[in-house]
Structures are given as structure tokens and as C-alpha cells.
């Protein structure tokens, strides 16, 4: 507040407030806040648009593209946000000018559906629905091992790994939060892998990757929680150099309208299924 006064951005009864003046009951205060500036640039990047209307859009993120910038880590170019600014222009910035339109995020090496809010009204409503678990999120994943159960529910606490803050864990986690993940077996692949549909009931960092690794079925290609030997095998045989994880489907209702979005598989992960005679749109 003192800085606002020093910069002449606080007025009382239409006059700039001086630092030695006191405010009295009945005075009318006007505050002029400084607008946060963004250094993000719109970039003409490839963007798979699944849906677009005046309130929100749904896009399918490419792998190896960060959802948004992180100060001091990714710079401010080449992210999904840069592409969104080029294709859609102004987006909601109530979550900060460095994350315009972003309702939720995906890990860099995870592809698939992301919701984009075009205005503040949509952002507030979509985030409320996310918080209230009223948006259904489904992923496709290929894991190492032949999953025996047709379906299963994983429920455990996830938090930061006490030995590595960049990782999450279910074992003695720091600041743990309850996480729930449901998986359904779709196909066995090449006598050593399994294609799963996974539904998230919570949205913890790295949740699917941590949960599947914890029960002995790590995501194929996962460089953090996966199996190094298996990762090399799929890289050699199928050319896969990232985790086989794809945000496949979103089901929601916004402003009284029901929506059901599906993202086609990206080419790099579809290869593994095609070579084993498995067809997925």
C-alpha cells in the first residue's frame, strides 16, 4: 500500500493521497493497480484444435511441448501457450499473464486434451467444475507387463519424494494428498505390454505415472518412473522416445450444454498399436 501511495496510485475523494495524510470514515478511496505485463509472444505453431466456440476451446497438445512457461526453466517460447495466443488471441488471464487460458496442464511428454478458457467467466466455471470433480478425464496408457485384472482402483497418498523434489511418490511422501485412479484393461500387446484406459478422480502431479509404477506396471517410455531396459526396447522396436500416455477424453457440462471430446492418438504412440494389429481412432 505504501508503494502505491509513493507512486501516486491511491486517491482519496478524487485527490492523490499524500503519505502524511490520514483517511477518515466516509472518504472515497480509488486505487490504480499496476497491470502485470507478460513477455509471452504469439507463435505460429502447429495446433490440433478439437473444438472452438466463443467461451472455450479444446486442443490436443503435442508431445515434447510444455503447457506453459516456468520462470527460469523453459524460457517463454515454444510452449502451448505461445501457440494459443497465435490461434485465439486474447484469453483469460485470471490465473496469471504467463498462463493465459490454461484451465489445467499436462506433463511435457504427455499428449492430448487440454481445456482453454477464452474469458474469465468460462475460466471460473471450468476451474470450479475441475475442483468439484465434475469434469471426467480419461487417458490411454501403455504399461509394462500383462495386467491381469479387467479393471482396478488405485487409492493412495501422493506427495513429493523426500529424496528428490522433482519426483512424486507414494512412499513416505512430503505433504501427501489422497489420489484415486481407475484403470480398465483394453488389450494385451506383444505378450509383454498392456493398453489401459485410465480415469482420474483426482488431479495430483504425475498421478497416473506414479500410481501405475507403484503397482508394478510403469508407463512405457517414462524416463522418471519407468523401466530403463523396457524403454530402450520400445525405442528400438517402435521408435518411441517418450512416455506412452495420452489424454484421450473429456466429458463435461458448461453453461447447460453437455460436451464429450475425444482426441485421436498422436502418430508416435499409434505406431506401437498399429504394428500389433490394434486399431484405435
Say if 246 falls within a structural domain: yes
Of the residues 106, 132, 158, the one at which a domain ends? 132
Place of cell 506383444: 190
Greatest alpha-carbon pair distance for the chain in Å reads 79
196 contacts 185 by C-beta, under 8 angstroms: yes
d(C-alpha 76, C-alpha 70), whole Å: 8
Give the structural domain span for 14: 2-31
Please report, for the domain that includes residue 76, its CATH number. 3.30.2350.10
242 and 157, same structural domain? yes
Burial grade of 215 (CB within 10 A; 0-12, 13-18, 19 or more): middle
Smallest CA-to-CA distance from 4 within 16, 21, 20 is with 16
Say if 255 falls within a structural domain: yes
Catalytic residues: 107
Of the residues 89, 113, 132, the one at which a domain ends? 132
Say if 209 falls within a structural domain: yes
164 and 219, same structural domain? yes
Say if 80 falls within a structural domain: yes
**pLDDT for the residue 4:** 54
Of the residues 100, 132, 164, the one at which a domain ends? 132
pLDDT digits (tens), the chain, 281 positions: 565 555 555 677 766 667 667 777 877 777 765 555 567 889 999 999 999 999 999 999 999 899 987 655 555 788 999 999 999 998 998 888 888 999 999 999 999 999 999 999 999 999 999 999 999 999 999 999 999 999 999 999 999 999 999 999 999 999 999 999 999 999 999 999 999 999 999 999 999 999 999 999 999 999 999 999 999 999 999 999 999 999 999 999 999 999 999 999 999 999 999 999 999 87
46 and 21, same structural domain? no
Q: Is 78 left (phi over 0), alpha (psi -120 to 50) or beta?
A: left
163 and 116, same structural domain? no
89 and 182, same structural domain? no
148 and 106, same structural domain? no
Say if 100 falls within a structural domain: yes
- Which contacts of 42-47 are long-range, i.e. CB under 8 A and separated by 24 or more positions? 42/82, 42/85, 42/86, 42/89, 43/77, 43/78, 43/82, 43/83, 43/85, 43/86, 44/86, 45/78, 45/82, 45/83, 45/86, 46/83, 47/80, 47/83, 47/84, 47/86, 47/87
143 and 59, same structural domain? no
The alpha-helical segments, DSSP class H, found in the chain are: 2-6, 80-88, 120-131, 207-214, 228-238, 267-274
216 and 152, same structural domain? yes
Say if 245 falls within a structural domain: yes
222 and 120, same structural domain? no
**pLDDT for the residue 8:** 59
**pLDDT for the residue 32:** 61
162 and 107, same structural domain? no
Say if 281 falls within a structural domain: no
As for how many domains the chain has, the answer is 3
**pLDDT for the residue 75:** 58
113 and 161, same structural domain? no
Say if 269 falls within a structural domain: yes
145 and 77, same structural domain? no
Amino acid at each position: 500500500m505504501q508503494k502505491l501511495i509513493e507512486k501516486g496510485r491511491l486517491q482519496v475523494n478524487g485527490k492523490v493521497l499524500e503519505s502524511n495524510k490520514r483517511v477518515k470514515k466516509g472518504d472515497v478511496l480509488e486505487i490504480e493497480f499496476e497491470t502485470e505485463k507478460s513477455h509471452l509472444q504469439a507463435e505460429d505453431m502447429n495446433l490440433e484444435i478439437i473444438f472452438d466456440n466463443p467461451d472455450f476451446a479444446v486442443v490436443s497438445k503435442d508431445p515434447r511441448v510444455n503447457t506453459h512457461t516456468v520462470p527460469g526453466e523453459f524460457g517463454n517460447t515454444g510452449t502451448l501457450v505461445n501457440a494459443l495466443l497465435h490461434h485465439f488471441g486474447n484469453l483469460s488471464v485470471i490465473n496469471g499473464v504467463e498462463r493465459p487460458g490454461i484451465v489445467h496442464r499436462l506433463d511435457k511428454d504427455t499428449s492430448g486434451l487440454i481445456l482453454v478458457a477464452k474469458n474469465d467467466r468460462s475460466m471460473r466455471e471450468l476451474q470450479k467444475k475441475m475442483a468439484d470433480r465434475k469434469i471426467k478425464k480419461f487417458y490411454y496408457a501403455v504399461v509394462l507387463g500383462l495386467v491381469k485384472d479387467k479393471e482396478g482402483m488405485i487409492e493412495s497418498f501422493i506427495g513429493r519424494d523426500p529424496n528428490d523434489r522433482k519426483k512424486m511418490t507414494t512412499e513416505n511422501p512430503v505433504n501427501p494428498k489422497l489420489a484415486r485412479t481407475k484403470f480398465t484393461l483394453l488389450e494385451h500387446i506383444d505378450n509383454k505390454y498392456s493398453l489401459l484406459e485410465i480415469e482420474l478422480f483426482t488431479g495430483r502431479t504425475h498421478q497416473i505415472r506414479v500410481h501405475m509404477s507403484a503397482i508394478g506396471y510403469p508407463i512405457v517410455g517414462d524416463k522418471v518412473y519407468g523401466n530403463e531396459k523396457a524403454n530402450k526396447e520400445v525405442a528400438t522396436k517402435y521408435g518411441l522416445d517418450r512416455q506412452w500416455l495420452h489424454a484421450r477424453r473429456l466429458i463435461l457440462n458448461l453453461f447447460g450444454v453437455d460436451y464429450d471430446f475425444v482426441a485421436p492418438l498422436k502418430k508416435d504412440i499409434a505406431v506401437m498399436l498399429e504394428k500389433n494389429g490394434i486399431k484405435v481412432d
